[in-house]
Structure 1
Amino acid sequence: MGTHRRRLGGYRLLDEIGRGSTAVVHLGIDPAGREVAIKELTDDFAGEPEARARLAREIAAQGRVDSPYVARLLDAGIADERPYVVVQYVPGLPLGDLIEAYGPLRGARLLRFARTLALGVAAVHDAGVLHRDVSPGNVIVMGDRPTLIDFGIAHETGASRITQPGMVIGTPAYLAPELIEGQRASTASDVFSWAATVAYAATGRHPFGRGTLHGVCFRILRGKADLDGAPEPIASLLRLALRRDPAARPTARWFAGSLAQWSTGTSARGPARVFDRVAA
């Protein structure tokens, strides 16, 4: 990527570090000389009211979340000629790149990754927000510390909308089955995506395989998750989170607590037995 000398607001833009269908993300420098990530709408969308409204929703959602495991919102210029949002720059590698380069996470490192990512998702939910795209591409890892990024399709829980069957919003291989069927997004949908992401970290494989969108969605709807090689207790916890019925999935906060107990050796019962006993 080339180096830019352009400024946006009070920020100097450096390298382009990401690009989507409507926006580009730059590594930038703030007035104090600190690195930040700056997302701006592209020329084609900067003047479109709906694109600006989507960016405003992203800002509203991300601004409510406060967690060391979620990228912080720092600034925004929604009324500018080139609307932009400034967030914490997170050094590290996207989980997908990390696993492809170094293989699956193991042992205590995997437990810490799963627990802290669950804490990040729980913080999003505690703020009354649904992320809707928890996936390997939206988790940056430094060591075994994950940071959840990209609130581009997030929204407040109360603003949840129903998608139509066949309309896929998010990363298809990590979507909950109810979203594929056009049902309402919920915290349980994010939990399913958390589990699919942790499964990928544990096995190095996409849990519902590769191939056509139809084939991947079919395996999700049939509950055909590939957890071969995922160690215990991770495998049992993932089976809980990947349950077909959203109401049967524990919360992200519950998973974080269960993983904390396992990491200290204090959990004596199987995860499913403990949850089902409490839920009853």
Structure 2
Amino acid sequence: MEALRQDDPRRFGRFTALARFDEGASAVRYVARDLASGESALITAARPELAAVPVFSRRFQAEARTAERLAGGWVAPPLDPGDTAETPADEAELLWTAAGYVPALPLAEAISIAGPLPERALRILGAGIAEILSRVHAAGSVLQGLAPGTVLLAADGPRLTAFGPLGAAASAEARPGGQLSVRLGYLTPEQIEGKEVSAASDLFVLGLLLAYAATGTTPFTEGPAEGATRRIAEDEPELDAVPEELRELIANCLAKDPDQRPTAGTVAAELALEGAAGLARGGWLPEPLAAAGRGTRKRGSWPWRCRRRGEAGGGGCPARPPMTPG
């Protein structure tokens, strides 16, 4: 978290920005105060140079709608952006979303603080994310939103904070002619081969995420960076440091053939038959992480209600289409 910069927006509808929370490839997040309730909130504002690209704007709003439909459980509900009539004119075209502030640590930060997660925490993390994936896949959609920076560890369980490629992007760039270039941090063998993604693609990335949480690294990182895609497509994952009880399940998620990967429901049941919430009851994080979450390292869940300020009629998202990540 850092102080607001000179060119940062100060108002988002009824929310007043207090500080920069963090920033990603496609957006900047702000800690804000809800002027109506006095409660803390998190705002995600799309980068202006990207928000001006129509294809980015449509995808940003589609991912926000996906999050709204998934709200509940391990997905925080959105906050109503409220009336934007008093928004300063120079901030009226911002594209943003809002949600409540939930004390939590991004997975990547948690690993840097306390190292790899113990087996029980891995089970809760994996089961919680798999439960969300089950809901996405039941609607015939693919998430493409998993990465170490999009998963938060809260006191009662994990939170997912990205609901499509924009949220999980390692880089996002506007190109001439209104084109948008988005690069994901985690790729699957089928993507590398130029094939369509499917629900099984989410399971491969879940396997990568769990291997990272269990070891502090990804299972295909040995060797030069330029060979990373080849290793994902061809090499077997290195899982010796993964807890033995979880090794086979994670290896199955990382199968090269999508048809050989388990479903999200199978993963959730194998990791926590009583459900992630049941297994997490009474606490689930190692004490250094629990303490960090309670202290100055507090983090929050990504905001989801899409809002373009300055839209006719008060703004907001267009009518919801069939569920899709974009």
Contact 1:192–1:242, Cα closer than 8 Å, also in 2? yes
Going from structure 1 to structure 2, the CA distance change for 1:5 and 1:187 (only over 3 Å counts) comes to closer
SS at structure 1 position matched to 2:70: coil
RMSD: 2.7
Going from structure 1 to structure 2, the CA distance change for 1:46 and 1:203 (only over 3 Å counts) comes to closer
Contact 1:133–1:193, Cα closer than 8 Å, also in 2? no
Letter of the structure 1 residue corresponding to residue 67 of structure 2 = Q
Cα deviations by residue, 1:144-192 (Å, 9 ceiling, x for unpaired): 721111225279xxxxxxxxxxx87311xx3211112221111111111
Q: Name 2:54's counterpart in structure 1.
A: 49
Letter of the structure 2 residue corresponding to residue 14 of structure 1 = L
Cα deviations by residue, 1:21-74 (Å, 9 ceiling, x for unpaired): 442211222221222221112333443323322222222222221342124333
Q: Name 2:192's counterpart in structure 1.
A: 180
Q: Name 1:247's counterpart in structure 2.
A: 259
Letter of the structure 1 residue corresponding to residue 226 of structure 2 = H
SS at structure 2 position matched to 1:17: strand
| Pair 1:59 & 2:64 matched | yes
1:260 CA drift (Å):
2.2
Counterpart CA distance in 1 for 2:81 and 2:111 is 33
1:92 CA drift (Å):
1.4
Letter of the structure 2 residue corresponding to residue 48 of structure 1 = V
Cα deviations by residue, 1:193-244 (Å, 9 ceiling, x for unpaired): 1111111111222221166543221111114312112123210101111111
Contact 1:90–1:147, Cα closer than 8 Å, also in 2? no
Q: Name 1:158's counterpart in structure 2.
A: none
Q: Name 1:170's counterpart in structure 2.
A: 184
Going from structure 1 to structure 2, the CA distance change for 1:126 and 1:179 (only over 3 Å counts) comes to same
Q: Name 1:15's counterpart in structure 2.
A: 19
Letter of the structure 1 residue corresponding to residue 3 of structure 2 = G
User: Which aligned runs of 4 or more in structure 1 are off by greater than 6 angstroms?
Assistant: none
The equivalences for 1:173-252 within 5 A come to: 174-209=186-221, 212-252=224-264
1:106 CA drift (Å):
1.3
List runs of 5+ in structure 2 lacking aligned partners: 85-91, 168-180, 276-326
Counterpart CA distance in 1 for 2:29 and 2:164 is 12
Letter of the structure 2 residue corresponding to residue 142 of structure 1 = A
Indicate the larger mover: 237-246 or 142-151. 142-151
Going from structure 1 to structure 2, the CA distance change for 1:22 and 1:150 (only over 3 Å counts) comes to same
**So what's the TM-score if we normalise by structure 1?**
0.78
Going from structure 1 to structure 2, the CA distance change for 1:168 and 1:250 (only over 3 Å counts) comes to farther
1:128 CA drift (Å):
4.2
| Pair 1:84 & 2:104 matched | no
Contact 2:106–2:152, Cα closer than 8 Å, also in 1? yes
Which of residues 157, 165, 177 in structure 2 aligns to 1:145?
157
Larger RCO (alpha carbons 8 Å, 6+ apart): 2
Q: Name 1:40's counterpart in structure 2.
A: 45
| Pair 1:29 & 2:33 matched | yes
1:140 CA drift (Å):
0.6
Counterpart CA distance in 1 for 2:70 and 2:139 is 6
Going from structure 1 to structure 2, the CA distance change for 1:45 and 1:221 (only over 3 Å counts) comes to closer
The equivalences for 1:99-110 within 5 A come to: 99-110=111-122
Counterpart CA distance in 2 for 1:210 and 1:153 is 26
1:76 CA drift (Å):
5.7
Counterpart CA distance in 1 for 2:137 and 2:79 is 20
Question: How many percent identity over aligned positions?
Answer: 34
Which of residues 93, 96, 100 in structure 1 aligns to 2:105?
93
Contact 1:240–1:249, Cα closer than 8 Å, also in 2? yes
1:89 CA drift (Å):
3.1
Letter of the structure 1 residue corresponding to residue 183 of structure 2 = I
Contact 2:42–2:101, Cα closer than 8 Å, also in 1? yes
Contact 1:99–1:204, Cα closer than 8 Å, also in 2? yes
Task: Tell me the matched-pair count.
Answer: 249
Q: Name 1:2's counterpart in structure 2.
A: 3
